[in-house]
């Protein structure tokens, strides 16, 4: 009952054996296996047999309420490593890739290790440019729904009875992006979520809040920009800061989605659709430009002059 027999093509048998060995090592290390870990391990070994899924996926960032929080894909593991080794990290990718969740786990870990004295979590308060005046209620009532996902994640990672005390003491701060203006954030782990909905000016303002002994993680999905009439600060920053040392851009893909398997396929389908739409838009622009040039040439008096002999 404790033996597995593998038969078939020798190469595939060797790959399957390696996968089983890695999964057994995870179990020996006390890691609970889910379908996500099995699938991710198989993909990892299919990419590079020199990788060890047990090592890559086996390092817990945090153990909270009996649950270990750890990377579940190679991309997530590389993202977490980047947070360890860079002062500013951009986590860019679709929904379900763990961008914000893993960053928050690293923030809680840093606070518990006394590497920082506070955690600051921020995001644009309203997706359409922080126009809070259009919403009913007090300022707290207006802001709270947009920050609720951050509170939910905190309560998963820490004792829910402790979170309100840390918030009251200012050890953890959850605030809209506008509240960051004019501040210098020292000894802090700062996370900007939903960064695709910042303007370039807001992104610059946020990044220049960085103080001594602080770390920043900026997360977002550049395919989900909700700004109606403005450019995305996240899109621009990938071009402006791409070559600066100590700033890392981690790009997660549908391969790193750890929600229901359908989510990855949905992300891929939308990505392909957007690519087709962009290609069609480009073709229409090129055709219009060609037609305009032809019209200008056709209407020019010089075109009707007799040729010189």
Which phi and psi angles does 68 have, rounded to 5°? -85, 135
**What pLDDT does residue 303 have?**
46
Which phi and psi angles does 189 have, rounded to 5°? -110, 115
The residue among 66, 133, 73, 129 whose CA lies nearest residue 102 is: 73
**What pLDDT does residue 150 have?**
83
**What pLDDT does residue 268 have?**
79
Residue 62 pairs in a beta bridge with 69
Domain ranges of the chain: 1-58, 75-265
**What pLDDT does residue 12 have?**
80
Residue 252 burial by Cβ neighbours in a 10 Å radius (0-12, 13-18, 19+): buried
**What pLDDT does residue 34 have?**
75
Share the mean pLDDT of the chain: 83
Residue 250 pairs in a beta bridge with 91
**What pLDDT does residue 138 have?**
54
On whether the 75-265 domain is CATH 3.40.50.300, my answer is yes
Which residue ranges in the chain fall short of pLDDT 50? 127-130, 132-135, 300-305
129: left (phi over 0), alpha (psi -120 to 50) or beta: left
Instruction: Judge whether 177 and 186 are in contact, CB under 8 Å.
Output: no
Q: Which two tokens stand for residue 182?
A: 């004019």
């Amino acid at each position: 009952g404790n033996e597995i027999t593998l038969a078939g093509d020798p190469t595939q048998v060797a790959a399957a054996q390696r996968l089983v060995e890695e999964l057994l090592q995870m179990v020996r290390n006390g890691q609970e296996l889910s379908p996500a870990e099995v699938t991710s391990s198989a993909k990892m070994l299919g990419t590079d047999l020199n990788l060890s899924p047990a090592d890559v996926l086996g390092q817990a960032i945090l153990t909270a309420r009996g649950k270990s929080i750890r990377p579940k894909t190679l991309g997530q593991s590389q993202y977490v490593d980047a947070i360890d080794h860079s002062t500013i990290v951009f986590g860019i990718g679709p929904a379900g890739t763990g961008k914000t969740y893993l960053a928050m786990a690293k923030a809680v870990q840093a606070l518990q290790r006394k590497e920082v004295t506070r955690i600051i979590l921020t995001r644009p308060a309203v997706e359409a440019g922080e126009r809070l005046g259009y919403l009913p209620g007090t300022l707290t009532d207006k802001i709270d729904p947009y920050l609720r996902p951050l509170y939910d994640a905190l309560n998963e990672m820490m004792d829910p009875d402790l979170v309100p005390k840390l918030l009251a003491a200012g050890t953890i701060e959850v605030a809209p992006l506008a509240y960051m203006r004019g501040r210098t954030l020292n000894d802090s782990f700062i996370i900007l979520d939903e960064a695709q909905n910042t303007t370039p000016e807001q992104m610059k303002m946020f990044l220049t809040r960085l103080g001594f002994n602080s770390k920043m993680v900026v997360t977002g999905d550049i395919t989900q920009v909700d700004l109606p009439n403005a450019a995305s600060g996240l899109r621009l920053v990938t071009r402006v800061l791409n070559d600066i040392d100590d700033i890392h851009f981690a790009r997660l893909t549908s391969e790193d989605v750890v929600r229901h398997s359908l989510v990855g396929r949905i992300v891929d389908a939308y990505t392909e659709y957007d690519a087709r739409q962009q290609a069609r838009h480009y073709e229409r622009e090129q055709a219009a430009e060609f037609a305009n040039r032809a019209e200008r040439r056709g209407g020019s008096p010089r075109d009707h002059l007799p040729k010189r002999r």
